Structure 1
Amino acid sequence: MELGAPLKEPPDIDTAHNIPREKEGIIFRILSYFITIIVFAVPFWVFMKVFSRVKIIGKYNLTKAKLPFLFVSNHVSMLDDAFLDPLLFIPRGLWDYKFMPYHTPERKNFYRGPIFSWIMEHVKCIPLTRGMGIYQPGIQQIIGRLKGGNSVHIYPEGTRTRTGDIGRGKPGVGRIIHQAKCSVIPCYHSGLNEVLPLGSKTPKPGKRITVIIGKPISFERYNGYESNVRTWQSIADEVIQVISDLRDKLNPSSI
């Protein structure tokens, strides 16, 4: 029995920002670049480079990657995107803005009031709502952005870990990969939970962060499969396994 059904192509409306894609004009793009890069990315890059002890393994797998791609990683703190992405996507993201990824924040945590919502709309965010499932507009918008030649950073577990373990992948990430037909770049990182511990509101300097990035992965062999939840879950399980393999490579004692 079918567990899902083929879906329509992404709509012409940008459901993340509630504006037509073609109306993201030059002013919007300039504001987006300025706020994303100058206001947020560069300061976080400085913090990570100057005030943290960072080791990155396999960064060339990302810096040489061809767009579009889905960047997938484990999730340990509220601001993983803010700490990790400037470190990994700069400098190329300075001149190749499509390379700088879209993020997928939880709507209730980050879209609080008109000011915060306006900021989030201009820093390459596509909000997702916990509990709305894999058919919510944000998932469709991610697929549209990837088909438009962009990169997106998403957490296949769908939530932050409280124990450090890697949970099971959500079928939504499998749906994105299957329908966008994009490559996937896996990443595992450790130490960010100490930079922003659970319950803390300010980052802590001097912490050791280690990041390992794997080679781009193709899921083309799934192209002939039905676009349903069973297929999507199989893809998500493979993504989680690859991230787990990176963890084991970084920490052999965890095997």
Structure 2
Amino acid sequence: MLYETLRRVGSVVGRALYRPRIEGLEHIPDTGPVILASNHLSFCDSVVIPLAVRRRVRFLAKAEYFEGTGLRGRLSEATFASLGAVPVRRGTGREALDALDLGLRVLKDGEVFAIYPEGTRSRDGRLYRGRTGVAHLALTSGAPVVPVALAGTREIQPIGARLPRVRPITIRFGAPLDFSTGYGHLKPGRARRVITDEVMAAIHALSGQEQAGEYNNHGGGDA
């Protein structure tokens, strides 16, 4: 109830302020599990996507956003919790697997789960190589993957900026990608790599970003 109220209010306010261009919402199934795989340009991406989508969207967020002190810390915790964020710690391989397990639980419950295959925010606006967690989720859950391209959010809240700015933004949702069949002849690791590359190619087709051709190993981004 709180999520829906905040989503409705936030959507109205956000659309009035930013007048976002939203394309392809019809590609998101009305029911059932679905993975939203998006490029990642700004801290505010995890606010923009849930406010644009009619269904509840769950996503991973750094545990630090839930552990701050004082008024700012409480506000951060309340905001991310109400938007459907799932706190996760980053660092070790075990923690990465735990994060994927959380995503699988969300999909098992028939919900929408958003993930950033790049792993962290792009500091230079380029599209980095995807990590294979998105493929693991798709293969294990059987859920379709809807590619998402955000544009303009980097200008709303650049890395290091304390307050958001009013800038035009575009949110594009592509046609769902079905990976439930057709990959059984590949070894698991190879299948995950092939699927991840296909997802990133779909995101690139929507975003038009320059491709970095490497992993984004900069720290400090969202989970």
The interval holding the TM-score normalised by the smaller chain is 0.7 to 0.9
String of CA shifts for 1:164-221, please: whole Å, max 9, x gaps: 111111111111111011011111110011111221121112x111122111110022
In structure 1, the partner of 2:109 is 148
In structure 2, the partner of 1:100 is 56
Q: Does residue 136 in structure 1 map to residue 101 in structure 2?
A: no
Q: Of 18, 33, 49, which aligns to 2:15?
A: 49
String of CA shifts for 1:53-99, please: whole Å, max 9, x gaps: 3212222222x54421001111111121112321x223xxxxxxxx3
In structure 2, the partner of 1:183 is 144
Q: Of 21, 27, 46, which aligns to 1:61?
A: 27
Identity of aligned pairs, percent?
A: 25
Return 183-192 or 127-136, whichever deviates more: 127-136
Indicate the SS of the match to 2:169: strand
Indicate the SS of the match to 1:221: coil
Return 212-221 or 127-136, whichever deviates more: 127-136
Structure 1 residues 83 and 122 mapped into 2: Cα distance closer, same or farther (>3 Å)?
closer
Contact 1:106 1:128 (8 Å CA) reproduced = yes
- Give the TM-score taking structure 2 as reference length: 0.80
Residue segments in structure 1 that go unaligned for 5+ positions in a row: 1-32, 91-98
What pairs with 1:161-240 in structure 2 (closer than 5 Å)?
A: 161-205=122-166, 207-222=167-182, 224=184, 228-240=188-200
Indicate the SS of the match to 1:103: strand
Structure 1 residues 227 and 177 mapped into 2: Cα distance closer, same or farther (>3 Å)?
farther
Q: Does residue 71 in structure 1 map to residue 27 in structure 2?
A: no
String of CA shifts for 1:36-63, please: whole Å, max 9, x gaps: 233x42343133211113212222222x
Indicate the SS of the match to 2:181: helix
Amino acid at match of 2:16: V
In structure 1, the partner of 2:45 is 80
Contact 2:147 2:176 (8 Å CA) reproduced = yes
Return 234-243 or 217-226, whichever deviates more: 217-226
Q: Aligned Cα RMSD in Å? A: 2.5
Structure 1 residues 150 and 107 mapped into 2: Cα distance closer, same or farther (>3 Å)?
same
How far off is 1:105 after superposition? 0.7
Structure 1 residues 172 and 128 mapped into 2: Cα distance closer, same or farther (>3 Å)?
farther
Choose 1 or 2 for highest CA Rg. 1
In structure 1, the partner of 2:66 is 111
Rounded Cα–Cα distance in structure 2 between residues aligned with 1:118 and 1:222: 42
Rounded Cα–Cα distance in structure 1 between residues aligned with 2:170 and 2:44: 16
In structure 2, the partner of 1:30 is none
Contact 2:25 2:53 (8 Å CA) reproduced = no
- Give the TM-score taking structure 1 as reference length: 0.71
